[in-house]
Amino acid sequence: MENDPLNFEQKHLDSVIKRISHIVQRLHDKYKDDQNKVETSENINNKIQSLKDIASKPYFVRLDFLEDGEKKPETIYIGKQTVIDKNDFLVYDWRAPISSIYYSGDLGETYYKTPIGKQKVDVKLKRQFEINDQKIINMYDAGDTIGDQLLLATLSQSSSHKMNNIVATIQSEQNKVIRNDTDAVLSVQGIAGSGKTAVLLQRVAWLLYQYRSTVNSKQILILSPNELFSNYINNVLPDLGEPNALQLTFNKLFKMSAWVRDYHIEDLAEQVTSPNSNVFLRSSKCFDLLERYCSLLNGQDCCFKSIKDGTKSIVTGNQLKRIFYSFNENYKLFNRFAATQEQAQKRLKRYLNKIKRQKWVEEEISAIPPQTLGFVERQQNFSSINAEQEYWRQHIVEKKYHEQIKQINSGAFVDIVAIAISFLKSLLKSKQIIDDKNLPKEIDLAVKKLNCKIIDPNLSAILLYIQQQISHEIADKNIKFVLIDEIQDYTPVQIGTIKTIYPKAKFTFLGDANQNIFENNYNIFDDISYIFKENQVKMTILNRSYRSSAPITAFTSKLLPQNKFNNNIQAINRNGLKPQLITVKHSQNMIDALIKIVRQNIDMQTAIICKSLAESQSLFKKLQEQVDQVTLIDSESQETGDKLIVIPAYLAKGLEFDAVIAWNTSKNNFPGEKQRLLLYTICSRAMHRLFLLTKSDVSPLIAAVPHDLLDRK
């Protein structure tokens, strides 16, 4: 029957595509009948569109397997979504339990999970397909001595300015993270190019499938490092037939607080230019002391802002403080806050009731146009003239005093900044950190920033943590899953804060300690285990790089500090050219060499990655005069769709490009150990080509790499 496998599979593909066409036609007929039922017709239309989206490429693998106790093998095909025609499963969704056997390893005995337990199977055939426009271009049977050809073929393709799904090539170690349904906290340490972001997105899709009756996309949150990264990944879930999950950055999360609008929130660029300014505030010790300080607020040190009408105080900060500490000592911090808020609302109400009788209110009512009065009267159906008058008095007063009302209702009457300053100053008296000689300078700078209404990412975490302990202002118990990428850039205080905001959520953390470009003096993966000490944190290692060719991975791995994790890095066996080190004597020679590289790689998406934003801006100005269609990526809101871009390293994190030109890798620019991880992050963005442009002496970090790993010019 299968003497000619390719011909057999093409005929099967043709049959499936034809049956999908028939399903679509039946749905169209049903759509016509149900046009008046909006909900039903919308649902049918979505089904039609999803089937059209996969019609030319309905699946990517065939599996033949023998279930335990059966004598006849079963054949199934797996794709992005399930396709059923009259109870006949044409295609199984890649997330279905039975589909997991495709991702579990090679041929032979394995199992998949069912509601009643594990089902043993013996996999006889695993046939992968490359399908384009309804035609099978290539197919590969697992067990071929040349290895996983579909994976290699996929990895050899050009990069895209939008991330693609990887469901056809999910690897066994990635699959274990994606389908984990037992652990409340997952922590994934993966090297550059190990597929961490892809795993995160495929996990979201799997969660939506696995818990489809109890979880929707609005109950899953992805915390991204920046807006640029969010734009990069926002096509993956729709491509898999799922709506995008909620996406936030930590900065956006912080800005949800009502009181922060009067403050300047520093962005990533400002953080990168002064990475060492808040060393202690980024430490786990700081989180310990902040937790302890907040636990004492129930008895002392809580601060409040006066609620004012111009220069007159409606309720003073001292009055609010006395109210706050007047309640029973058994009150928890939030209950104490809520009771104080209620008292403040009552006092404001009494004040506004007096204001309502003032002459200016009557004058404003008299100035309301008759048509407006008539419209509202018809809407409200007032019982009397007095009721109508009272409505307008209340409306006018609430409009005038909406800021005071908002201040109380949002909890902004609590002086979070004053509490934070008090905490920061208390650190100087702590016996646990008395030996930190740099702490006074660090605290002084932090306090000055707050007094000048400037908040950096480290301070925002402290402020948000304090706020959440007191008011729970942005707490969200509806979120069931939180997934955080680039976790190495987070501080223990940020993670502890996120934990308090989403108390009902399960967490997945993914990151790479080797890409910690903010020079943190801690291992965030250890801190995760401490912060979630009530849970057993499941730690997974992804040490195989799929992004870069083997020669590029061989080079970048030698840039890393040698330890147990880095010594076990594995490269996918994809051939390519060695990274090229080009050394010139003068700055203009660097520009000339750069332009030559760009023109030689005109068909590739090429990123010129600089150490800083300032360096990127300077280089871009010079390039504009000599190169057409070059784009500077200098903000989080842009996209990286152009063929040639100039981008600072901190914005390139998590992205990948066909070719990377690491700009000015000289001894002056990357002098030593402090720049090691930054240089590694830059170089590990490259998929197919990597160029290192250096003026005069090369960085000692590069000079120390074995000579044969580089093509030196």
Known binding-site residues equal 190-197
β-pair partners for 694: 583
Residues contributing to the annotated binding site for ATP: 190-197
Contact call for residues 159 and 656 (beta carbons, < 8 A):
yes
Contact call for residues 701 and 692 (beta carbons, < 8 A):
no
CA 94 – CA 54 distance, rounded (Å) = 13
Most distant CA pair in the chain, distance: 97
CA 604 – CA 617 distance, rounded (Å) = 22
CA 658 – CA 175 distance, rounded (Å) = 26
Residue 531: name the closest of 494, 482, 501 by CA.
494
Torsion angle of C-alpha atoms 257, 258, 262, 263, degrees rounded to 10? -10
CA 23 – CA 58 distance, rounded (Å) = 13
Helix, strand, coil percent content, the chain, rounded in steps of 5: 45, 20, 35
Phi, psi dihedral angles at 253 (to 5 degrees) = -60, -45
CA 544 – CA 550 distance, rounded (Å) = 11
Count of helix runs (H) and strand runs (E) in the chain: 28, 26
Residue 709: name the closest of 608, 601, 580, 583 by CA.
580
CA 293 – CA 278 distance, rounded (Å) = 19
Q: How far does CA 583 lie from the centroid of its chain?
A: 37
Phi, psi dihedral angles at 77 (to 5 degrees) = -115, 140
Contact call for residues 307 and 348 (beta carbons, < 8 A):
yes
Residue 173: name the closest of 140, 209, 136, 198 by CA.
198
Q: Which residue has the tokens 């590739």?
A: 604
